[in-house]
Copies of this chain bind each other. A is one copy, B any other.
Amino acid sequence: MAQQKKMVEAITSRDVDFAKWYTDIVKKAELADYSGVKGCMVIRPYGYAIWENMQNDMDRRFKKTGHENVYMPMFIPESLLQKEKDHVEGFAPECAWVTVGGSEKLNERLAIRPTSETLFCEHFAKVINSYRDLPKLYNQWCSVVRWEKTTRPFLRTSEFLWQEGHTMHETAEEAREETQRMLQVYTDFYKETLAIPAVIGRKTEKEKFAGAEETYTIEPMMHNGVALQGGTSHYFGDGFARSFNITFTGRDNKLQYPFQTSWGTSTRMIGAIIMVHGDDDGLVLPPKIAPIQVAIIPIAQKKEGVLDKANELKNRLLDKDIRVKLDDSDKAPGWKFSQYEMLGVPVRLEIGPKDIENNQCVLVRRDNREKTIVSLDDLEEAIAETLQKVHDGMYNSALENLRSKTFEALTHEEFLDIAENKPGFIKAMWCGETECEEKLKDETGGVKSRCIPFVEDHLSDFCVCCGKPAKHMVYWGKQY
C-alpha cells in the first residue's frame, strides 16, 4: 500500500493546479517526453498506441466517405507558399526554414509544411484536366511544423502529427457539402470513439483559417471549462484554384476553376482526452482507443490455479479481439490497481482463489469505480457490455460538464461577470463586427468567439458588447 500511495500522491490534484495535473499525467502515464529541441516532443509507446487507434478509426471513416491517402513532400518553396496572399500572411511567421541542403546554401528557402494546401494545389494543377477528374478526395497523415514560443505536450508543440484532407470539386455546392460532411465525420468520431461531446459551428471572419472563405470547427470543452479547437473543416471556394491556376474543362466544354476544401485533426486530440476524461488518479481512456481495454489482475497469484485461470480468461478475451493485458508481475495487487488506473484502462478484472471457487470474477469500471461480480460463463458478454457502459458513462459525464458550464449572457456586464467568475462557454448575441470580438477578448483576458452554431438561440436583439442590432448568437470561451 505504501507504493500505491506514493504513486497517487505524485499526481497534482486536478482542482488544485490543472496545468500541473495535466503534465503529471502526460509524464506518469508515459504518453510523451520532452526532447532536446525546444517545443518538440517524443511520443512514447503508450501515447503512440492511442494515436494509432485513433488513426485506424478515422482512416476507416475517411475511406468509407471515398477518400484516398497520398503523401506530399514536407518542403514548400517560399515562392509556392506566397502564391495565396492571405495564406502566406497567416503561416509564414511561424514557419521553420531550411536554408542549407548538404553543404550548399539554397537559392530559395524551403518552409517545412505548416499545412499543405499549397503543395496539394501544385499537384492538383497537374492532375486535374476535365470534370471527369473530379472530385479529388485526398487525405494525408504526416507531421507538420509551426514554430511556437510556448508549448505544452500534445496541445501546442512546434511539430505535431495530424491528418489533413484536401479535396477539389466540380461545383461550389459539392465542396460545401464536403466541408459539412467532414465536420460531421469529426463530430461522430468525437462522440462515438472519444466519448467527447462538443459544440460545432462556423468560425467568425476573425477566427477563420488563413485563405479560407469559411471555417467550421468542433469545440469540445475541457473539464476546467476551457475550450480546445478539436478539428476544423474549411471551404475555400475557388480562391486557391485561381491563385494556382487550376482549371478543368467542364461539362459545357469551357474552362472552369474547381472548388476546394481542407480539414484537419491532430495529436492534440490526445490532450483533449486527458483534459475531458482524466481525474485525480490519472488517465481515463475511452474504450475504443484504449491500448489496453481490460487489465487482468490476479489476486493471490501464487495460489495454485490462479495464474492458469487468469491466462485462460485472457485468451478468451483475445479471441474476441479485446485488447487485454494480464499483469502477473510480482508487484502487489494494490500497486497494480493504482498503475492501471493511472493508465486509464477502462476495465479491471480481478480473479482470485475465491472467485475461481465461485466461477466468477470482479469487474471494476475505471470511470466510476463501479464493481460488479460476473459469472465466468458470461465473461465475454459482460466485458463487451461493461466497455459500452464505460463509453456511455464517460460521454454523459462530459456532456454534463459541458452543459453545466455553458452560460448565457444578455448584457455586457453579465458577460464580464461570467467570464471572470464562471469558467466555461458563454452564449451571447453579437453584431458581427471584429471590433467587438477584440474588445471582449481584451476585457476578459482572452475570451474569444468559439463559433456560430448551426442552430442559434435568439437570446436578445442586441450585441452583448456594443448594443447594436445582433446578427448571430455566438459561443464564447477561453481556449488552449
List residues of chain A with CB under 8 Å of any chain B CB.
33, 35-37, 40-45, 48-49, 51-52, 68-77, 80, 93-103, 109-110, 112, 119, 122-123, 126-127, 138, 142-143, 145, 147, 149, 158-159, 161
Contacts and interface: CB of A to CB of B under 8 A. Distances in A.
A48 B74 contact: no
A252 B228 CA distance: 49
A101 B112 CA distance: 10
A97 B98 contact: yes
A37 B108 CA distance: 10
A159 B71 CA distance: 11
A236 B126 CA distance: 45
Contact of A48 (B33, B70, B76, B80): B70
A315 to B, nearest CB: 16
A74 B143 contact: yes
Given A70-B48, A99-B99, A119 B159 contact: no
A301 B159 CA distance: 52
A44 B72 CA distance: 8
Contacts of A161: 71
Contacts of A109: 100
Contacts of A33: 123, 126-127
A102 B147 contact: yes
Given A42-B72, A138-B45, A36 B147 contact: no
Q: Copy number of this protein in the oligomer?
A: 2
A362 to B, nearest CB: 29
A266 to B, nearest CB: 12
A158 B110 CA distance: 13
B110 A37 contact: yes
Contacts of A112: 74, 98, 112
Contact of A36 (B42, B80, B98, B138): B80
A464 to B, nearest CB: 35
Contact of A68 (B49, B122, B138, B149): B49
Given A33-B126, A33-B127, A97-B101, 11 more contacts: A35-B122, A36-B122, A37-B77, A37-B110, A48-B69, A48-B70, A49-B68, A96-B110, A97-B98, A97-B99, A98-B98
B102 A95 contact: yes
A74 B122 contact: no
A102 B93 CA distance: 5
A225 B110 CA distance: 38
Nearest to A143: B74
Contacts of A51: 71
